[in-house]
C-alpha cells in the first residue's frame, strides 16, 4: 500500500515558519503583503545560512570562491572598490552594485546579451562576497 502524499495548502506554507514566532491571531491579522515580506525574509535567511554552511565546509571550487561566477565578479567588478570602514557590506548592496555596473552600459535591457548576463549573475554567491569583503575590511 502506497502512502499518499499530503499536499500543504499554500497559505499554510507561508504561515508555517512563523507559527512559533507569532500567535495565530497575529498571523490572521497580517495582510498578505506583510506575510509575503516575512516569508521572503525567512527564505533569504535560510538561503544565507545554507550558503554560509557550504562556505564554512570548505566548498570553494574556483580560486577560493564558491564558483567561477562568484570569483569573476569579485575579480572584475568588486575587487578594486575601496569600502567605507563605517558601513557593513551586505549581499544586497553588492548585487545592486553589480547589476548597475553590468546593465548601465546596456542600451536594451531585454536583449539576448542581457539575458545571458542575468543568467551568469544568478549564480553569483553575494553572501560569500559580502563575508569576504567584510573580513578583509576588518583585517586592514
Over residues 20-64, the pLDDT tens digits come to 677 777 777 777 677 677 767 766 776 666 655 555 444 557 788
Q: Given this model, what pLDDT does residue 33 score?
A: 72
Mean per-residue pLDDT, 6-17: 62
State residue 65 phi and psi, 5-degree precision: -115, 165
Q: What is the pLDDT of residue 1?
A: 46
72 has pLDDT over 80:
yes
Domain ranges of the chain: 1-59, 61-140
The pLDDT score that the predictor gives to residue 96 is 93
User: How far is residue 77's CA from residue 91's CA, in Å, rounded to a whole number?
Assistant: 14
Can you give the pLDDT at residue 111? 79
User: Could you tell me which of 41, 58, 33, 39 has the C-alpha nearest to residue 92?
Assistant: 41
Q: Which H or E run includes 117? A: helix 112-121
Amino acid at each position: 500500500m502506497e502512502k499518499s502524499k499530503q499536499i500543504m495548502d499554500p497559505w499554510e506554507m507561508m504561515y508555517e515558519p512563523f507559527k512559533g514566532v507569532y500567535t495565530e491571531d497575529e498571523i490572521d491579522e497580517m495582510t498578505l503583503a506583510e506575510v509575503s515580506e516575512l516569508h521572503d525574509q525567512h527564505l533569504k535567511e535560510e538561503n544565507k545560512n545554507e550558503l554560509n554552511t557550504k562556505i564554512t565546509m570548505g566548498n570553494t571550487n574556483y580560486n577560493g570562491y564558491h564558483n567561477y561566477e562568484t570569483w569573476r565578479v569579485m575579480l572584475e567588478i568588486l575587487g578594486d572598490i575601496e569600502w567605507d570602514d563605517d558601513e557593513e557590506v551586505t549581499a544586497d548592496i553588492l548585487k545592486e552594485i553589480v547589476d548597475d555596473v553590468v546593465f548601465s552600459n546596456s542600451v536594451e535591457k531585454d536583449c539576448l546579451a542581457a539575458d545571458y548576463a542575468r543568467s551568469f549573475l544568478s549564480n553569483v554567491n553575494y553572501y560569500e562576497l559580502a563575508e569576504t569583503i567584510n573580513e578583509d575590511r576588518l583585517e586592514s
